[in-house]
Structure 1
Amino acid sequence: MIDPIVVFGIPVDFILFALTLLGVALFHHKTLQVALTGLAAIIAYKLIFTGFKHGTGVAGLGHHMAHEWVTLANLFLLLMGFALLSRHFEESRIPDEMPALLPDDWKGGVVLLCLVFVLSSFLDNIAAALIGGTVARHVFRGKVHIGYLAAIVAASNAGGAGSVVGDTTTTMMWIAGVSPLAVVEAYIAAIVAMLVFAVPASIQQQRYSPIQKDPSKSVMIDPARVFIVAAILIAALAANIIANVKFPALLDIIPVLGIAVWAVILLTAAWRAPDWKVMPETFKGTIFLLALVTAASLMPVEKLPAASWPTTLGLGFVSAVFDNIPLTALALKQGGYDWGYLAYAVGFGGSMIWFGSSAGVALSNMYPEAKSVGRWVAHGWPVAVAYVIGFFVMLAVLGWHPDRPH
């Protein structure tokens, strides 16, 4: 790979990526076209001028994609599969019963966010966010504020931050040999952050569209769909744990989680048909995320700043626009981090912008009005404030105790 061309001290790769993200922010009704155009421009630049990490020309691009395809395939299968899961959950009629279980005022919004947090601690955060979004659609009569949507994403990412089975990044740390106990301390920051953003977001939602006080009448729960939802989630959880414990090498060559989810979806399709109508719109949102993830993976970020708590704090903001999977991989290679802080930063930090995490993209597919960086930041400001407060509370309580560099 040739050294990148630098303009005013900034590699052209980063300039093209920044322009892509700016285009996504400005033209939120054309996000897919902007992302694909940006990816094409970055690939063309690297084909012509610099080459790729594993070689130059088309062969270098092929080697790069051979290293990335499992990650991309897993994201594709999970995003598409969990969209069907959320429809199974909605059609099970369980969300229609939720108003009877939640408090009537803004505290009902807080309780729902707490449920998303808990679900995400042992499920994939995409599934937790979609289940939260599905319930919110019912209890708020279909009118969900963008600030509350940001809070749902933040709750799902916070819940997964301290669990090695709750987020892709923490699973990566587990695979690399980081102890689950070293990651679980992220819950100190995550719980504090949850307390900070959940209340203002829920009050904001209550003012926008109050929680429905009375459950729908004559609700008949569909036990078959409840079973299918449970089977999909259990399959994903079991595949994650078994593959990591028994066959970790398999995770590098096969999209295990995605295959497990789709195996259950297809095996149960004759019993209760999935809502295939959601696939076209979900497909667009999924391709958008994959385009950004692929573009991020092409950036020349072979070296991060020296590991420290200020660097880790900064990585949280970077992860809002730069995919946290390559960031985590680089940090693991570099070493010298306190892994609980890194898990919180790269896991929760992506909540600050709607495309900063796969959970945000998945929920924005359900609520297209959320695909606006300006509105997400303006109404979801408690999430950014909560991120900083949670980080510094954790620093004050635990101090910084880095692992030895690899």
Structure 2
Amino acid sequence: METIIVLVFVVGYLAITLEHNLKIDKLIPALVMMAISWALIALGIDAFPQWFDSANHTLMENFGLLGHEEKMHLMEETLLHHLGKTAEILVFLLGAMTIVEIIDYFDGFSTIKGFIKTKNKKTMLWIFSLLAFFLSAIIDNLTATIVLISILQKLIQDRNTRIWFAGLIIIAANAGGAWSPIGDVTTTMLWIGKKVSAGHLFAYLFVPSLLCMLVPTFIASFLPAFKGKIENEESDDEGPKSKFSATMFYLGLGGIVSVPIFKQVTHLPPYVGMMLALGVVAIFAEIYSNTKFTLMDSGSDDEAFQGHHSPVHHSLSRIEMPSILFFLGILLAVAAMESLGILFGFAQSLQDTMPMLGTELHHEGVSDLVVMLMGVGSAVIDNVPLVAASLGMFSEPLDNELWHFIAYSAGTGGSMLIIGSAAGVVAMGMEKIDFFWYLKKIAWLALIGFLVGAAAFMVTRTFI
């Protein structure tokens, strides 16, 4: 039965990886393999020789001696435990996504566009890379990529020029998301899973992540694509569509940034702080929307809709529910593998067979090579299941350097292929970037940045 469950997981994983070839959204195989895996566990519960106690992070002794009813009760408790942990991540993401959509409803991101006055390509490259790096740490790398490419489309008419900028934005956004607990889904998972803390994440990863962004940007600034000035720049003097744009922009970002502080002070789960931030932002959104200001240009088809609907309801209708359901499916599918002890056994064999590279990490001596291979793997397959699997594979305590290296590798390694990260996939969709163009033009820059950052991590961790 274990073999069948592993096979279901592998087939589902392949379907997720090949979603662009199969033309099937990755949330579908994620949900199917989750449901089938747990159904097979329920049907074959008496045949399994071991069970992994997720709460205590250890294999249960004498699991085989338990009766059928006791095993079923244990399975239900385990599933409820994993659903609770998954729900913490999903509710957190829902709150963050809604705040971002509220900012967008008030055209708050036009505030960023107002800062960009230059026509010089090299200067603009540095501006966008730095914006992507720091903005992704606040509003997550996926949203930062969407915002910056949207601004890019208004500033640069030539698509061939834009896609070069988009490629470097992907690298910078993924690097920026790695050092913030709210910058990437994988770092959020590690933070909520009590594997990393916000302060140590910054201390360990800020310098490696910064170098991961700076080195590719520096090299790219000498490439022909970034020489000269922007031609045919579109004149756009409309300004923001709402007089509250800047206010909502700073209020929304301030609300998201306050979440780690709220957690530190109250010791409550991060989603509680995110719900408080959403509530505060929503109050101001409702007050400002009732002042009867015009959000859209006169005559817009959306004017009537936005004039008569709550900005919060409108924002909730625009959040990425497919992504939320994908995370639900993949995290619970990985939880099924963890519960049977399969991931635990795989981690043990991996550590026994892999050669050590560089400084051994504390406790179980997981090699740096293993973690770097996870980074390369995250470029080929989704980094969410990789990190979810690592949570079940390794048992190091809070803020062990292993978790920080995993956060770095999974967060930045996905930049090496355009399908390797959420930021890359959304940029691919927005600008119709060809997979092989990215592989030829951008991947080598991402690889250099990844390796430089990894080397920097190995050096800086010795001082922490």
Q: TM-score, normalised by structure 1?
A: 0.74
The aligned residue for residue 186 of structure 1 is 205
Count, aligned residues: 389
1:308 equivalent in structure 2: 367
In structure 1, the partner of 2:446 is 383
Structure 1 position 20 matched with structure 2 position 15: yes
The partner residue of 1:153 within 170, 184, 199 is: 170
Identity of aligned residues (%): 18
Instruction: List per-residue Cα deviations over 1:227-273 (Å, max 9, x = no partner).
Output: 11211111111122112x1222434xx45325523651464045245
Q: Is the 8 A contact 1:97 1:219 kept in 2?
A: no
Q: Which residue of 2 aligns with 1:112?
A: 128
The code of the aligned residue for 2:203 comes to V
Contact 1:82/1:130 (CA < 8 Å) preserved in 2?
Answer: no
Give unmatched runs, 5+ long, in structure 1. Answer: none
- SS state at 1:218 partner: coil
SS at match of 1:141: coil
Q: Which structure has the larger Rg over C-alpha atoms?
A: 2
Per-residue Cα deviation, 1:91-149 (whole angstroms, up to 9, x for no partner): x643553551x342244123211122123345544443343233223222384855644
Unaligned 5+ residue runs, structure 2?
54-70, 290-305, 352-364
Show the counterpart of 1:349: 413
- State how 1:193-232 maps to structure 2 within 5 Å: 193-198=212-217, 206=225, 211=230, 214=233, 216-221=235-240, 222-232=242-252
8 Å CA contact retained: 1:351, 1:383: yes
After TM superposition, where is structure 1 displaced by more than 6 Å over at least 4 residues in a row?
200-205, 372-375
The CA distance in 2 between the partners of 1:379 and 1:40, in whole Å, is 40
Q: CA deviation at 1:284?
A: 3.4
1:263-342 matches, cutoff 5 A: 263-265=280-282, 267-272=284-289, 274=311, 276=314, 279=317, 282-300=320-338, 301-302=343-344, 304=347, 305=351, 306-320=365-379, 321-323=382-384, 325-326=387-388, 329-330=391-392, 333-335=395-397, 337=401, 340-342=404-406
Flag the 1:307–1:146 CA change in 2: closer, same or farther, 3 A. farther
Contact residue 96 and residue 138 of structure 1 kept, 8 A:
no
| RMSD of Structure 2 on Structure 1 (CA) | 4.4
Give distance in 2, aligned partners of 1:28 and 1:380.
25
Distance 1:367 1:267, change over 3 A: same
CA contact (8 A) 2:137 2:177 kept: yes
CA distance, structure 2, for counterparts of residue 277 and residue 261 of structure 1: 11
Structure 1 position 290, deviation (Å): 4.2
Q: CA deviation at 1:224?
A: 0.1
> Which residue number corresponds to residue 250 of structure 1?
269
Q: Which deviates more from structure 2 when the two are superposed, residues 28-37 or residues 70-79? A: 28-37
Write the mapping of 1:86-105 to structure 2, written as runs, cut at 5 A: 86-89=104-107, 93-94=110-111, 96-100=113-117, 102-105=118-121
Show CA shifts across 1:40-83 (max 9, x none).
44444444446885665666534431332111222233335424
Contact 2:175 2:210 in 1 (8 A): yes
Structure 2 distance, partners of 1:113, 1:127, is 14
Alpha-carbon distance in 2 for matches of 1:124, 1:355: 17
Q: Aligned partners of 1:258, 1:375: CA distance in 2, in Å?
A: 41
